[in-house]
Structure 1
């Protein structure tokens, strides 16, 4: 027994019973002499004429390394015949007759055909060459792992055929029956063709020139991992199934057609990237599984056939890529079904917001996703969209919107169409939702709504950046009024149908929205960051005013000067405040802030003239930090928590103070401040803040004695400043800032005492001020298109109490606490304090 024959027995291809009676081979010249019994012929060398031996179970062996030649056909009769060729040549055909025959070609050449008659027969080829392989009726087995043959044809029966490597120049065919064909590698110059039956065709590699064709029956076609099929793939009538697994479009593109034929057929893409919908015909159920991606592009995917008329597309764990595609039934007027548990993507490989997917039938979202590109702007701005024609939309789908350079704008009508119900299509109220509940652009948030505000839009879905009022109720006409009959026998005009306008329905997951009555103006939906950025200018004003303060807050009581000349004195203080203040404007922001800081200054030079006027020139540096919580008009609601801000400021200032002998004073200050910080909204959007401010202050005061220990000092102050903030981008839009010059005036009165405590001079005081910020506007601009204005104007008052204590001839300590509040409609509630030290050198 040969080693390869033993291997066949081990693999179960050849049974021991089948080999019973086959004698062991031995080397011999090619002497072929038939007998009436079971013959064994060995052809190792030499030449023999053709062989005809139709009796018995015959064996013909060509040993390895042999050179034997048979000039002519080899013909055996019915029986269990075996031909094994490891070498040599048959110049003709090998006809093995009926029976359980085995042909093995491990080397050598058969110039003619290999023919097996009726029976369960085997052909195994690993090397060499032969003509056509023809197996008759029965459950035949063909296995090829090398070599070259002209073609292979298996008769009716439950056949098996495997091509691992090697080449078949022509067709690979099988008759009627439940055939199983596997192509792992190698090449087929013709096509694979199987007859009627429940066939199973598997392609894992190789190259098939002529395509695949299966007869009627419930066939299974599997194309897995690799392989090229250059002709059409067609299955006949029946419930056929096709599986494309781990393939790419360049591989699949080798075939022009994959046709399911008549019947209830299914096509499954598994971990596969495919395209060209016109390639796929007559499939009733198409499924995308295991991260498969199907590029519909601008094509039409037709489901069903002439018998079933329509079909179903299941997007499970997969993606459908679309630009201008449609999914349609085979028969017009029927409805397809699209079930989405994966992703319908209209954004990939597209730089426009005009793509669409039209489904001519029903759409059901099974927690799937729909990805769109929209130009987030005003009403009717361009957007990708899903169009459902005639059918019903139901289930649950999350829409992911990418803004395609939309600046953001307020919608005042229907909004931006993203899902269109055409020709009577309907949608459930829960069919779609927006990822995250909102999408932002410019200064606005866009929410998803079912229904527009114009007739005939009740089943569409729109993005809106404003809350629209419900339609006004239609007044009812008089009851029982019959339209007048036109004169001269004219035609009575038809009564228009009642299209109806229904209140828009917010999508599931949409943030709460305020109530609005019919006929009211739309309510804009600003994103929370708008209020945060609107308080940046007022926050800077708090820092600047806290650092400038008043003369007495900075330097204590203006007692008689102690020193003159160069660097005669120095001073330092710490200060802080806690303030809650509201501002009028587009989003009516409120800032609840805490400010802390310190200043260190010195007189550079001081001198006193003969008439008692004292003048001092000095400078100071300071650092301050402000943190605050912001509320404002956001999401349609006033007084909404929107985020936090943090600002850090470094200031450098210079001053000139003129003081008379009666302690009347004039104090002039010029100060520059550079600041940075960040904003973080309530949803985590961050903005880096940088900018600078230039300010100038002029303050005067004159004391008047009212008793031996008390005096009243009227005061007045003007602060003029301007702030510049750097333009930024917060990941949603470009943001720029502009502010008018701010003019703040103060008038106040200070009641000051003069006593000694423990021998040390002390000057207690109380002060009342009225502050007024003049008219002006702070503007934050989003994407160079939407201005958010906040008024600078305000009128406030403060009450303070403090004291200056002379602890030595050259050292004073001073401090005060105060309370401030609004005198106009802009609420203000604040507390402040300062502690300082002044030293005469």
Structure 2
């Protein structure tokens, strides 16, 4: 045995007492074990009897000590008043009775350890009572007066009277609770009046074990236990009722915890309960509601097994959700039947048990889904004001169903913002319903069809607008036979979900019909003709109506419309439908404007008696097939190419208003109305009668037949090349006739406009050349065939104008538009000819202009003369012109030795005027030419007979030529850069021989003055020339001599091929010349003190041996040749000084053609300077 020292604050436990199960603790006071040796048993407890063991000896009780009860259980009798700081029961079965126990100290704690039960029937006074340990403590005195409240930290506290818990709050759970279960249970005797417990109860948020509040068993005569205090749930709790009677909670229940009902019958009696948790009724238990709304609106009620929800006193209940198994029971005990409302906080539930005829009405609120799968027999109204009420059982009125067994009257089923969902295997019901202000829905999502068979009209709950939504996933023929109408405000209908609904009633509602998904079918007498519009994003099926047609006002959406063999009549259209219309039936428009932008495949006719049917909305979709009877307006409005192959009849209007092309291929010759081509293109490749008006922004084309036509826009026969026939008159209103043609000869493929009637007004004609290279025409290319009176005027939109006539270009040729044929001069037709038209020569001439030809494009004269201009710049000079006099007569020869090297330079200018003897295009030209040339000479051989001088030359030349022709003139500007070589023999006997060779590169710009454009820029060319010249000086004495001479020069030029402004390919065909010259000069030489001089006069004959030049333009050759024989005279001179070291020389000349003297001529002059060393 061990002894505690004085002042120790910890337990002293003897080994022997441990064996007896006795423990004691000292916290500022002693823990004493009951019994003189601590062995327990029965006995007295007072302040004088030595009946307590302190661990070493028996002692009397002292106030504030803690009692430990172990060993053998017994009855401990309190004598008088005993103050204790706490008690611990370690042995089961102790009972404390008699006297008064005063709880003292800071926190008096009574502990019943695991498996231990103890009872205190003494009066308890003092401060707070704390129950710890997992065992059970029963306090049975009904007059306890302790005031500090009660805390059940662990285990079970059973009390036996309405005052047993003192006057404070009962707290269930604290920081020491942890996983321990905590219970507070009443266990009263056979009281015939109810026992009321006024203490407030707080369920602490501490701990994780179960919390139970309620009662144990009762005697049969007891009226139960009533908790009247406020109960605060900070975590879940179980409300428990004894097996034979009820436990009632009349105090307010608040907090966040959930409630489980267990035991026999638990009654809730406070309408202000606002706890946030849910309620579960255990199997076999009863939850009785004695007042309205004792269950909070936010609570979901779950009934497990055969649990029971019992209503008493007409206590309406509003909860969030209702769950329960198939044997769950809802019933009532007394009073009127209450109203039951679920879904108040948007919750959901699934209740499989029956709701018997125990409620007055059932209401579904909120956004959640409440499932009622039992055969409910309540006879009151079912109202669905939010979310979904779902059932698998529907039946006729009076029979059990998911919505009760009320009669079929419309007042017993109210849709006011919610949806009734059916999930069964198929049902037919005569139940009517009321559609209230907030509208509602019916959801068919079962495996079989749902049929509302009543033909009585749907009742409407107010005069405000409302919407009925038919939805679900069932593809069966779910049917609503009840007609839907208006009441003050309009009613609308929405078909949602992927399933199918059938309307068989004659509906009169005027709101919209929206098919957002699935299929809405009209069957039998079903009609929605009064609905403002149908928005079909799902399928609208009218194939089952009994009549031949079905009417709607307007059609919108992107889904589909299924006609079957029926006619869909649209009476007041104002919408666009982007879906497709299918079936063998047809479409009728009787008013408004209906736009179709989808692909419709219905094969029946389309009838437009009034209003407009518009195909497309400016995009790339929208089509119909079949024939159209058009007495209203048929409009085509697409931005791409589309085809309509049906026929069009009637007296209405056709409008082409889209920016794309509409291709009409059917026979619409029976149409008598008006067609307006306002925008885009209308291509008629079948026939279309009535008046055709092509407006300023429109285009008519095709290879078909139209009738009387007025053109203020564009008429373009063919679809590339083809004939458009106007079976009637054609009037030009400043419009354009566009012709595509492979422009060439008379037989060229070409568009043609055929007018079987008369022409009038004025039109412009534009020709689009499809790769034609031009050719000479005789009759011309017929582009307009007029079979009536040809009074209309057609003005060609040309590339340029010539002699007041518009001309277009194809290859080398120009074409004009001319009326009347050559062989049929009065036919009134219009032709493209490669010629100009001339006015009649006199009264005996044809009444129409005649043509002469051919007509060449304005670049041709320039291209023809181009090589001639280059030849002029490539020409070579004579020896005298190049270097002056280097061989003097003996009379004036210097005494000094001949210089061996020389450097010279000269400038040459000329003006030339040519009237060629042969020119394809009648081209004349004149040029101004300038050359700069320099050379370096060197004597390479010198002997007694003479000397041989070799030289190198370089030159720059420029020429500007003006070309004239009746086809158009222009200018050729060329620069040339060249190099060359010379070799000259000077004989001492006066004989000389000279050879020249040169090569040159050209850069040219060619511009047409007629069209005001450059037709070739920076064109490159090249040339070379070879020349041989010889002569003999014959002395006459006294300084005079004569020199007969001869020269032969070959020159060749070429230029790079190019494409001109009009697209014609231009190449050089021939560009060489072989020209001979015979000349005789008369010379006079004289010598002075410082130098000597020479003057001469010369006469020349020139002859061209070759046939001139030629160029190819688009495969057509154009030749140009000047006169062959020319003559010329010239005069010149040389002056040298300083022993011939320096010299000046020059010559002027005039040449002329002997065939056209004075018409073809040239004037030229050259001057140079030479130095030798």
Specify whether residues 209 and 321 from structure 1 end up closer, same or farther in structure 2 by C-alpha distance, changes over 3 A only.
closer
Secondary structure of 1:620's partner? strand
Alpha-carbon distance between aligned partners in 2 of 1:536 and 1:792, rounded to the nearest angstrom: 17
Alpha-carbon distance between aligned partners in 1 of 2:371 and 2:732, rounded to the nearest angstrom: 77
2:983 corresponds, among 642, 656, 673, to 656
Alignment of 1:94-105 (within 5 A): 97=457, 102-105=467-470
Alpha-carbon distance between aligned partners in 1 of 2:846 and 2:855, rounded to the nearest angstrom: 23
Deviations 1:92-142 (A, max 9, x none): 227571566631135565852234344453111332523213552352420
RMSD of aligned Cα (Å): 4.5
Specify whether residues 213 and 278 from structure 1 end up closer, same or farther in structure 2 by C-alpha distance, changes over 3 A only.
closer
1:401 corresponds in structure 2 to: 768
Deviation at 1:631, TM superposition (A): 1.1
Alpha-carbon distance between aligned partners in 1 of 2:1135 and 2:410, rounded to the nearest angstrom: 136
Alignment of 1:702-781 (within 5 A): 702-703=1032-1033, 713-725=1043-1055, 728-730=1058-1060, 731-733=1063-1065, 735-739=1067-1071, 741-749=1073-1081, 751-754=1083-1086, 759-763=1090-1094, 765=1096, 767-774=1098-1105, 776-781=1107-1112
Q: Which has the higher contact order (CA 8 A, sep 6+)?
A: 1
Larger Rg, first or second structure (1 or 2): 2
Aligned length: 752
Partners of 1:565 and 1:606 within 8 A in 2? no
1:388 corresponds, among 748, 751, 755, to 755
Matched, 1:557 2:890: no
Deviation at 1:550, TM superposition (A): 1.3
1:797 corresponds, among 1113, 1128, 1133, to 1128
1:19 corresponds in structure 2 to: none
Matched, 1:581 2:921: no
1:269 corresponds in structure 2 to: 637
Alpha-carbon distance between aligned partners in 2 of 1:552 and 1:397, rounded to the nearest angstrom: 64
Partners of 1:390 and 1:425 within 8 A in 2? yes
Partners of 1:285 and 1:312 within 8 A in 2? yes
Alpha-carbon distance between aligned partners in 2 of 1:594 and 1:189, rounded to the nearest angstrom: 85
Specify whether residues 212 and 721 from structure 1 end up closer, same or farther in structure 2 by C-alpha distance, changes over 3 A only.
same
1:590 corresponds, among 924, 927, 943, to 924
Secondary structure of 1:633's partner? coil
Alpha-carbon distance between aligned partners in 2 of 1:23 and 1:365, rounded to the nearest angstrom: 77
Alpha-carbon distance between aligned partners in 1 of 2:982 and 2:799, rounded to the nearest angstrom: 57
Deviation at 1:428, TM superposition (A): 1.1
Provide TM-score, normalisation by structure 2. Answer: 0.56
Specify whether residues 199 and 434 from structure 1 end up closer, same or farther in structure 2 by C-alpha distance, changes over 3 A only.
farther
Deviation at 1:608, TM superposition (A): 2.4
1:451 corresponds, among 820, 827, 836, to 820
Deviation at 1:73, TM superposition (A): 2.5
Alpha-carbon distance between aligned partners in 2 of 1:73 and 1:567, rounded to the nearest angstrom: 136
1:144 corresponds, among 495, 515, 518, to 515
1:429 corresponds, among 793, 810, 813, to 793
Deviates most, 533-542 or 143-152: 143-152
Deviation at 1:439, TM superposition (A): 1.9
Specify whether residues 628 and 369 from structure 1 end up closer, same or farther in structure 2 by C-alpha distance, changes over 3 A only.
same
1:76 corresponds in structure 2 to: 432
Deviations 1:450-499 (A, max 9, x none): 22233374421101112356678797xxxxxxxxxxxxxxxxxxxxxxxx
Alpha-carbon distance between aligned partners in 1 of 2:934 and 2:544, rounded to the nearest angstrom: 97
Deviation at 1:798, TM superposition (A): 4.9
Alpha-carbon distance between aligned partners in 2 of 1:99 and 1:235, rounded to the nearest angstrom: 38
Deviation at 1:393, TM superposition (A): 4.7
1:112 corresponds, among 478, 482, 488, to 478
2:497 corresponds, among 123, 127, 130, to 127
Alpha-carbon distance between aligned partners in 2 of 1:287 and 1:53, rounded to the nearest angstrom: 56
Secondary structure of 1:426's partner? coil
1:503 corresponds in structure 2 to: 848
Specify whether residues 189 and 85 from structure 1 end up closer, same or farther in structure 2 by C-alpha distance, changes over 3 A only.
same
Matched, 1:622 2:981: no
Deviation at 1:418, TM superposition (A): 0.7
Partners of 2:711 and 2:736 within 8 A in 1? yes
Partners of 1:265 and 1:282 within 8 A in 2? no
Partners of 2:707 and 2:727 within 8 A in 1? yes
Specify whether residues 178 and 631 from structure 1 end up closer, same or farther in structure 2 by C-alpha distance, changes over 3 A only.
farther
2:137 corresponds in structure 1 to: none
Deviation at 1:648, TM superposition (A): 3.6
Partners of 2:1146 and 2:1168 within 8 A in 1? yes
1:92 corresponds in structure 2 to: 451
Matched, 1:645 2:972: yes
Partners of 1:455 and 1:501 within 8 A in 2? no
Unaligned 5+ runs, structure 1: 4-21, 476-499, 505-515, 635-639
2:581 corresponds, among 186, 203, 208, to 208
Deviation at 1:266, TM superposition (A): 3.5
Specify whether residues 232 and 160 from structure 1 end up closer, same or farther in structure 2 by C-alpha distance, changes over 3 A only.
same
Deviations 1:425-458 (A, max 9, x none): 5341246655653222343211011222333744
Provide TM-score, normalisation by structure 1. Answer: 0.76
Partners of 1:373 and 1:404 within 8 A in 2? no
Partners of 1:342 and 1:369 within 8 A in 2? yes
Specify whether residues 533 and 28 from structure 1 end up closer, same or farther in structure 2 by C-alpha distance, changes over 3 A only.
closer
Deviation at 1:57, TM superposition (A): 9.6
Deviations 1:284-318 (A, max 9, x none): 5333335321345xx5662553xxxx344433332
Secondary structure of 1:123's partner? strand
Secondary structure of 1:390's partner? coil
Secondary structure of 2:937's partner? strand
Deviation at 1:533, TM superposition (A): 1.4
Deviation at 1:218, TM superposition (A): 3.6
1:59 corresponds in structure 2 to: 414
Secondary structure of 2:637's partner? strand
Secondary structure of 1:154's partner? coil
1:686 corresponds in structure 2 to: 1015
Deviations 1:545-587 (A, max 9, x none): 2xx1111221122245999999833433343334333323233
Alpha-carbon distance between aligned partners in 1 of 2:370 and 2:952, rounded to the nearest angstrom: 121
Partners of 1:157 and 1:176 within 8 A in 2? no
Unaligned 5+ runs, structure 2: 1-340, 344-361, 398-406, 461-465, 693-704, 801-805
Alignment of 1:534-573 (within 5 A): 534-545=864-875, 548-559=876-887, 568-573=901-906
2:677 corresponds in structure 1 to: 315
Alpha-carbon distance between aligned partners in 1 of 2:868 and 2:1098, rounded to the nearest angstrom: 24
Partners of 1:141 and 1:160 within 8 A in 2? yes
Specify whether residues 124 and 631 from structure 1 end up closer, same or farther in structure 2 by C-alpha distance, changes over 3 A only.
same
Alpha-carbon distance between aligned partners in 1 of 2:869 and 2:485, rounded to the nearest angstrom: 98
Partners of 2:618 and 2:658 within 8 A in 1? no
1:495 corresponds in structure 2 to: none
Specify whether residues 788 and 304 from structure 1 end up closer, same or farther in structure 2 by C-alpha distance, changes over 3 A only.
farther
Partners of 2:745 and 2:774 within 8 A in 1? no
Matched, 1:291 2:653: no
1:509 corresponds in structure 2 to: none
Alpha-carbon distance between aligned partners in 2 of 1:32 and 1:709, rounded to the nearest angstrom: 157
Deviation at 1:203, TM superposition (A): 4.2
Alpha-carbon distance between aligned partners in 1 of 2:584 and 2:1127, rounded to the nearest angstrom: 88
Deviation at 1:162, TM superposition (A): 0.6
Partners of 2:363 and 2:382 within 8 A in 1? no
Specify whether residues 596 and 280 from structure 1 end up closer, same or farther in structure 2 by C-alpha distance, changes over 3 A only.
farther
Deviations 1:360-415 (A, max 9, x none): 12334444444433343333444221111224353423322315434421x33x31
Deviation at 1:531, TM superposition (A): 0.8
Partners of 1:61 and 1:85 within 8 A in 2? no
Alignment of 1:404-423 (within 5 A): 404-409=771-776, 411-412=777-778, 414-422=779-787
